[in-house]
Amino acid sequence: MTFLDQADRGIPTGLAKVLHLNWALTLLLATVASVGFLMLYSVAGGSFEPWAKAQMIRFGLGLAAMFIVGFIHIRFWRGIAPIAYAAGIVLLIIVEFFGSIGMGAQRWIDLGFIMLQPSELMKIALVMMLALYYDWLPREKVSRPLWVALPLVLTLIPTAMVLQQPDLGTAILIVASGGVVMFLAGVSLWYFIAAVSGGVGLVSLVMMSRGESWQILKDYQYKRIETFLDPSLDPLGSGYHITQSKIALGSGGLSGRGFMEGTQTRLNFLPEKHTDFIFTTLAEEFGFVGSISLLMLYLLVVVFCLVSAMRNRDRFGALLTGGIAATFFFFFAVNMAMVMGLIPVVGVPLPLVSYGGSAMLVLMAAFGLVQSAHIHRPR
C-alpha cells in the first residue's frame, strides 16, 4: 500500500482528473475535427446531410470515449495491452473469413451498431503491446538481437495479415508505428539503418532483375508496380484521381476559391471527396493558407503529444504517447503526400477530417490513452 501511495502521489483522483486533462490537446483535436465538419458540409453542397451531421455525432461519441479511456488509470491499460493485442489478432483472423467486402478488400466487421475495421484497432493494440514490452525489458537488453527480434515478430504478424486483405496503406502504418515505438525505446540506430538499406537493396534487386534471366517477378507485376509508382502512365485509371486532385489543389491558389466555391469538388471531378481526398477540397476552397494551416494544426497535435511523452517519467506512458503521436503523424503525412502526388495512392484517410466512423472512434480512444498517460503520469 505504501508503494502504491508513493507511486500515485500527486495523481488526481475522481472529478479532479477533469482539471488535469490535457485540455490544450483536446481543444486542438476539436479544432481539427471542426475543419472536418466544415469540409463535409461543403462537399455535400452546403448540407449537414449526409456526412457532416453523422461525423459530428461520431466526434461526440469519440470525445466521450476519449474521456472515459482517459479517466481510467494507465495501469489498467498497461494490464490489458496483451489482451488487446491478442484480441486484435483474433479480429483480423475473423475478418479474413467473415469480413464484409469494402473497397475491394476484406476489411470490415459488422458489429451491428458500427462497422469495425480491425486493422485500425490493431495499430493501437500494437503500440500498447510494444510499449508494455519495452516497459518490461531492461534497458541494457533493448538492442540485443533476440530482444529486437521479438517486437519485430509482434509487428510483422499483424502487418502480414493486413497485407493479406490487401490494405497496403494500413500495413505501412502498422510497420511504421511499431518501428517508431522501437525507435523511441532506444533500439540501436544500426538496426534501422540496416532495415532501410536492406529494404532499398531488396527493391533494387527486384527491379534490376527485370528483363534478366533471373527475373524475380512476372512481367505484369512489374507493370503494376510501374503504374503504382507513376499513375500518369494510366491517366484514365489510377492516374485520373491524382491528376484531378492536383488540379483541385493547384487551382485553389494562395487564398482559395472560397467556401463552397470549389468547382472540382462541386462538379464531382474529385473521387472520394468526402473520405481519402477530402484534403483537396480544403486546399481548393481555402488555398495555400488553408492547407498550410491544417498542416500546422496537425503538427501541433504531434508536438503536444511528443512533449507530453518526453516529460512523462513513466516509460509505458511515454512510449504509448509517442507511438500514438507517430501513428497519427503517419496518418496525415501519408494522406497529404498521397493527394499531392508525392507518393502513390494508398488508402489512408485524413485523421479526424475524413468521413469515417471506426477510424474516428479508434483514433479518439487512442487519444484517450494519451490523456490517461498524461493525467496519471508520475509526479
Partner 1 sequence: MRRPSQTTPTYVTRRGLMLLGLKLGVVGGLGYRMRQLQVEQADTFRLLAEENRVNIRLLPPARGLIFDRNGKPIAVNQQNYRVTVVREQTDNPEETLHKLSRLIPLPPDRQEKVLKEMRQRSAFVPVTVTEHLSWEEIARVAANAPALPGVTTEVGLTRHYPELENFAHIVGYVGPVSERDLNRVEDPDPLLQIPDFQIGKTGIEQRVEGGLRGGAGNSRIEVNAAGRVMRELERTEGIAGQDLHLTIDKELQAYALKRMAGQSSAAVVLDVKTGEIIVSASAPSFDPNAFVFGISTGNWNELLNDPYRPLSNKAVSGAYPPGSTFKMVVALAALEAGVVGPGETVYCPGHYQLGRRRFHCWKRGGHGHTDLNESLKFSCDVYYYDVARRVGIEKITAMANRLGIGIKHDLPLPAISEGLTPTKAWKRRVHDEDWLVGDTLNSGIGQGFMLASPLQLAVMTARIASGREITPRLIRAVEGQPTAKPPPAELDISEQSLGLVRRGMFDVVNGRRGTARRSRIVDPENRMAGKTGTSQVRIITPEERARGVFKNKDLPWERRDHALFVSYAPYTDPRYAMAVIVEHGGGGSVAAAPIARDIMLRCLYGPVPPLEAYPAEERDKIEALRAAEPPVEETPPPSTSDRA
Under the criterion CB under 8 A, does residue 55 sit at the interface with partner 1? no
Contact (Cβ atoms closer than 8 angstroms) between residue 348 and residue 275: no
- In the list 71, 108, 277, 329, the residue contacting partner 1 (rule: CB under 8 A) is 329
- In the list 24, 90, 136, 166, the residue contacting partner 1 (rule: CB under 8 A) is 136
- In the list 109, 283, 346, 364, the residue contacting partner 1 (rule: CB under 8 A) is 283
Q: Which amino acid is at 255?
A: S
Mark the segment that binds partner 1 (CB under 8 A) among 122-130, 147-155, 201-209, 242-250: 242-250
- In the list 42, 264, 275, 358, the residue contacting partner 1 (rule: CB under 8 A) is 264
Under the criterion CB under 8 A, does residue 322 sit at the interface with partner 1? yes
Min CB(347)–partner 1 separation in Å: 19
Min CB(17)–partner 1 separation in Å: 20
Mark the segment that binds partner 1 (CB under 8 A) among 26-34, 80-88, 113-121, 263-271: 263-271
- In the list 128, 326, 360, 362, the residue contacting partner 1 (rule: CB under 8 A) is 326
C-alpha–C-alpha distance, residues 170 and 359, integer Å:
11
- Region 178-197 residues binding partner 1, contact defined as CB under 8 A: 180, 183-186
- What are the φ/ψ torsions at residue 104 (nearest 5 degrees)? 80, 10
Under the criterion CB under 8 A, does residue 249 sit at the interface with partner 1? yes
Contact (Cβ atoms closer than 8 angstroms) between residue 192 and residue 179: yes
The residue ranges that bind partner 1 (CB under 8 A) are 3, 7, 135-136, 139, 180, 183-186, 244, 246-254, 263-264, 266-269, 283, 287-288, 291-292, 295, 298-299, 302-303, 306, 309-310, 312-316, 318-319, 322, 326, 329, 333, 336-337, 340, 342, 378
